A and B are shown apart, each in its own frame.
Chain A
Protein backbone atom coordinates (compact mmCIF):
# COMPACT_ATOMS: atom_id res chain seq x y z
CA UNK A 1 0.00 0.00 0.00
CA UNK A 2 1.48 3.33 -1.11
CA UNK A 3 2.02 5.88 1.69
CA UNK A 4 0.06 9.10 1.38
CA UNK A 5 1.97 12.36 1.32
CA UNK A 6 0.55 15.78 2.07
CA UNK A 7 0.47 18.41 0.84
CA UNK A 8 0.85 17.53 -2.83
CA UNK A 9 2.53 20.85 -3.52
CA UNK A 10 3.66 23.89 -1.59
CA UNK A 11 5.18 27.23 -2.51
CA UNK A 12 7.40 29.01 -0.01
CA UNK A 13 9.30 32.24 0.09
CA UNK A 14 12.93 32.00 1.14
CA UNK A 15 13.19 31.80 4.88
CA UNK A 16 9.76 30.28 5.45
CA UNK A 17 9.16 26.89 7.07
CA UNK A 18 7.33 23.85 5.73
CA UNK A 19 6.12 20.49 6.97
CA UNK A 20 5.60 17.47 4.72
CA UNK A 21 3.65 14.54 6.06
CA UNK A 22 3.75 10.86 5.16
CA UNK A 23 1.25 8.35 6.48
CA UNK A 24 0.82 4.65 5.93
CA UNK A 25 -1.92 2.11 6.51
CA UNK A 26 0.73 -0.55 7.22
CA UNK A 27 2.90 -1.09 10.28
CA UNK A 28 6.26 0.52 9.56
CA UNK A 29 9.78 -0.16 10.63
CA UNK A 30 11.52 2.53 8.68
CA UNK A 31 10.87 5.75 6.83
CA UNK A 32 13.32 7.11 4.26
CA UNK A 33 13.16 10.66 2.92
CA UNK A 34 14.52 11.72 -0.48
CA UNK A 35 14.57 14.89 -2.54
CA UNK A 36 14.52 14.77 -6.31
CA UNK A 37 15.10 17.66 -8.68
CA UNK A 38 13.71 17.53 -12.19
CA UNK A 39 15.66 15.13 -14.39
CA UNK A 40 17.95 14.02 -11.57
CA UNK A 41 18.27 11.03 -9.28
CA UNK A 42 16.59 11.04 -5.88
CA UNK A 43 19.02 12.22 -3.22
CA UNK A 44 18.95 10.65 0.23
CA UNK A 45 18.07 13.01 3.07
CA UNK A 46 17.56 10.85 6.12
CA UNK A 47 16.28 7.58 7.44
CA UNK A 48 14.31 6.95 10.62
CA UNK A 49 14.35 3.46 12.02
CA UNK A 50 12.65 3.58 15.35
CA UNK A 51 9.29 4.80 16.46
CA UNK A 52 9.52 8.28 17.87
CA UNK A 53 12.97 8.84 16.40
CA UNK A 54 13.81 12.32 15.27
CA UNK A 55 16.74 13.18 13.11
CA UNK A 56 18.13 16.45 11.93
CA UNK A 57 20.31 17.53 9.10
CA UNK A 58 21.15 21.24 8.95
CA UNK A 59 17.75 22.90 8.86
CA UNK A 60 15.94 19.76 7.77
CA UNK A 61 14.66 17.38 10.41
CA UNK A 62 12.16 14.57 10.61
CA UNK A 63 10.11 12.62 13.11
CA UNK A 64 8.58 9.16 13.04
CA UNK A 65 5.52 8.20 15.05
CA UNK A 66 5.43 4.43 14.86
CA UNK A 67 2.07 4.09 16.59
CA UNK A 68 0.36 6.45 14.18
CA UNK A 69 2.40 5.07 11.24
CA UNK A 70 3.31 8.61 10.28
CA UNK A 71 6.42 10.60 9.57
CA UNK A 72 6.90 14.31 9.08
CA UNK A 73 9.71 16.20 7.39
CA UNK A 74 10.42 19.70 8.70
CA UNK A 75 12.19 22.30 6.58
CA UNK A 76 13.09 25.48 8.41
CA UNK A 77 14.34 28.76 7.00
CA UNK A 78 13.97 27.38 3.49
CA UNK A 79 16.56 28.13 0.83
CA UNK A 80 16.22 28.20 -2.95
CA UNK A 81 18.18 24.95 -3.07
CA UNK A 82 15.38 23.18 -1.17
CA UNK A 83 13.17 23.25 -4.26
CA UNK A 84 12.32 19.84 -5.62
CA UNK A 85 9.99 16.92 -5.05
CA UNK A 86 10.20 15.21 -1.69
CA UNK A 87 9.42 11.52 -1.41
CA UNK A 88 8.95 9.35 1.60
CA UNK A 89 9.72 5.66 1.24
CA UNK A 90 8.36 3.27 3.82
CA UNK A 91 9.84 -0.06 4.81
CA UNK A 92 8.41 -2.91 6.82
CA UNK A 93 11.46 -5.12 7.25
CA UNK A 94 13.61 -5.71 10.27
CA UNK A 95 16.04 -8.50 11.16
CA UNK A 96 15.25 -10.48 8.05
CA UNK A 97 11.49 -10.49 8.48
CA UNK A 98 9.18 -8.73 6.10
CA UNK A 99 10.20 -7.09 2.89
CA UNK A 100 13.19 -4.86 2.30
CA UNK A 101 11.56 -3.04 -0.55
CA UNK A 102 10.67 0.59 -0.09
CA UNK A 103 7.23 1.79 -1.07
CA UNK A 104 7.30 5.43 -2.11
CA UNK A 105 4.59 8.04 -1.92
CA UNK A 106 3.63 10.21 -4.89
CA UNK A 107 5.77 13.05 -3.64
CA UNK A 108 5.37 16.63 -2.47
CA UNK A 109 6.53 19.32 -4.87
CA UNK A 110 8.22 22.13 -3.00
CA UNK A 111 8.97 25.41 -4.72
CA UNK A 112 11.01 28.07 -2.93
CA UNK A 113 10.86 31.53 -4.46
CA UNK A 114 12.97 34.60 -3.67
Chain B
Protein backbone atom coordinates (compact mmCIF):
# COMPACT_ATOMS: atom_id res chain seq x y z
CA UNK B 1 0.00 0.00 0.00
CA UNK B 2 1.90 3.00 -1.30
CA UNK B 3 -0.87 5.50 -0.64
CA UNK B 4 -2.52 7.98 -2.97
CA UNK B 5 -0.03 9.86 -5.12
CA UNK B 6 -0.64 13.24 -6.74
CA UNK B 7 1.46 15.14 -9.25
CA UNK B 8 2.61 17.81 -9.46
CA UNK B 9 2.75 18.99 -5.85
CA UNK B 10 2.74 22.61 -6.90
CA UNK B 11 1.62 24.33 -10.08
CA UNK B 12 2.00 28.01 -10.85
CA UNK B 13 0.41 29.26 -14.02
CA UNK B 14 -0.84 32.42 -15.64
CA UNK B 15 -4.51 33.21 -15.83
CA UNK B 16 -6.08 31.77 -18.95
CA UNK B 17 -3.74 28.80 -19.24
CA UNK B 18 -4.85 25.18 -19.03
CA UNK B 19 -3.56 22.90 -16.30
CA UNK B 20 -3.76 19.15 -15.73
CA UNK B 21 -3.24 17.24 -12.50
CA UNK B 22 -2.74 13.54 -12.03
CA UNK B 23 -3.84 11.20 -9.25
CA UNK B 24 -2.74 7.60 -8.72
CA UNK B 25 -5.05 5.94 -6.19
CA UNK B 26 -4.27 3.02 -3.91
CA UNK B 27 -4.05 0.12 -6.35
CA UNK B 28 -7.01 -1.96 -5.22
CA UNK B 29 -9.33 1.02 -4.73
CA UNK B 30 -11.89 1.40 -7.49
CA UNK B 31 -13.52 4.54 -6.06
CA UNK B 32 -11.76 7.83 -6.73
CA UNK B 33 -12.76 11.32 -5.61
CA UNK B 34 -11.54 14.83 -6.41
CA UNK B 35 -11.91 17.65 -3.90
CA UNK B 36 -10.84 21.28 -3.79
CA UNK B 37 -9.75 22.97 -0.58
CA UNK B 38 -9.19 26.65 0.09
CA UNK B 39 -7.69 28.22 3.20
CA UNK B 40 -9.87 27.84 6.26
CA UNK B 41 -12.34 25.54 4.56
CA UNK B 42 -12.95 21.83 4.46
CA UNK B 43 -12.51 19.86 1.25
CA UNK B 44 -15.21 20.62 -1.33
CA UNK B 45 -16.41 17.71 -3.47
CA UNK B 46 -15.76 18.02 -7.21
CA UNK B 47 -16.35 14.62 -8.79
CA UNK B 48 -16.42 10.86 -8.14
CA UNK B 49 -15.47 7.81 -10.20
CA UNK B 50 -16.31 4.16 -9.81
CA UNK B 51 -13.69 2.43 -11.93
CA UNK B 52 -13.66 4.39 -15.21
CA UNK B 53 -17.22 5.69 -14.89
CA UNK B 54 -17.71 9.25 -13.66
CA UNK B 55 -20.80 8.81 -11.49
CA UNK B 56 -21.09 12.19 -9.83
CA UNK B 57 -20.07 15.73 -10.55
CA UNK B 58 -20.70 18.75 -8.37
CA UNK B 59 -23.44 20.98 -9.74
CA UNK B 60 -21.30 23.93 -8.72
CA UNK B 61 -18.45 22.80 -10.93
CA UNK B 62 -17.71 24.99 -13.92
CA UNK B 63 -17.65 23.51 -17.44
CA UNK B 64 -13.98 24.49 -17.50
CA UNK B 65 -13.29 21.52 -15.24
CA UNK B 66 -13.11 18.01 -16.64
CA UNK B 67 -11.90 14.76 -15.18
CA UNK B 68 -11.11 11.37 -16.63
CA UNK B 69 -10.14 7.98 -15.32
CA UNK B 70 -9.19 5.85 -18.31
CA UNK B 71 -9.06 2.12 -17.60
CA UNK B 72 -10.13 2.74 -14.04
CA UNK B 73 -6.62 3.35 -12.77
CA UNK B 74 -5.09 6.84 -12.51
CA UNK B 75 -7.20 9.94 -12.97
CA UNK B 76 -6.57 13.38 -14.42
CA UNK B 77 -8.27 16.66 -13.60
CA UNK B 78 -8.02 19.41 -16.19
CA UNK B 79 -8.89 23.05 -15.74
CA UNK B 80 -9.22 25.09 -18.89
CA UNK B 81 -8.81 28.87 -19.09
CA UNK B 82 -7.79 29.15 -15.46
CA UNK B 83 -9.12 32.04 -13.37
CA UNK B 84 -7.87 33.63 -10.14
CA UNK B 85 -10.62 31.87 -8.21
CA UNK B 86 -9.24 28.49 -9.21
CA UNK B 87 -6.30 28.95 -6.87
CA UNK B 88 -6.65 26.20 -4.27
CA UNK B 89 -5.35 22.85 -3.11
CA UNK B 90 -6.74 20.04 -5.26
CA UNK B 91 -7.03 16.79 -3.34
CA UNK B 92 -7.59 13.31 -4.63
CA UNK B 93 -8.89 10.47 -2.47
CA UNK B 94 -9.67 6.81 -3.05
CA UNK B 95 -11.64 4.12 -1.30
CA UNK B 96 -12.31 0.44 -1.75
CA UNK B 97 -16.07 0.77 -1.48
CA UNK B 98 -18.48 3.64 -0.97
CA UNK B 99 -19.02 4.60 2.65
CA UNK B 100 -15.60 3.28 3.52
CA UNK B 101 -12.60 5.41 4.55
CA UNK B 102 -11.37 7.76 1.87
CA UNK B 103 -7.59 8.00 1.79
CA UNK B 104 -6.28 11.35 0.62
CA UNK B 105 -3.19 12.24 -1.35
CA UNK B 106 -0.99 15.20 -0.43
CA UNK B 107 -2.69 17.36 -3.03
CA UNK B 108 -1.65 19.69 -5.82
CA UNK B 109 -1.44 23.35 -4.87
CA UNK B 110 -2.48 25.57 -7.78
CA UNK B 111 -1.52 29.23 -7.86
CA UNK B 112 -2.84 31.51 -10.59
CA UNK B 113 -0.77 34.59 -11.35
Could you tell me which A residues sit within 8 Å of B by CB distance? Answer: 2, 29-30, 32, 34, 40-44, 47, 49, 87, 89, 91, 93-94, 99-107
Contacts and interface: CB of A to CB of B under 8 A. Distances in A.
Nearest to A85: B42
Contact of B56 (A30, A42, A49, A100): A100
Contacts of A41: 4, 91, 104-107
Contacts of B33: 101-102
Contacts of A93: 98-99
A47 B41 CA distance: 20
A99 B45 CA distance: 11
Interface string B75-97: 00000000000000001000000
Contact of B41 (A30, A89, A94, A106): A106
A66 to B, nearest CB: 14
Given A41-B106, A101-B33, A101-B56, A94 B42 contact: no
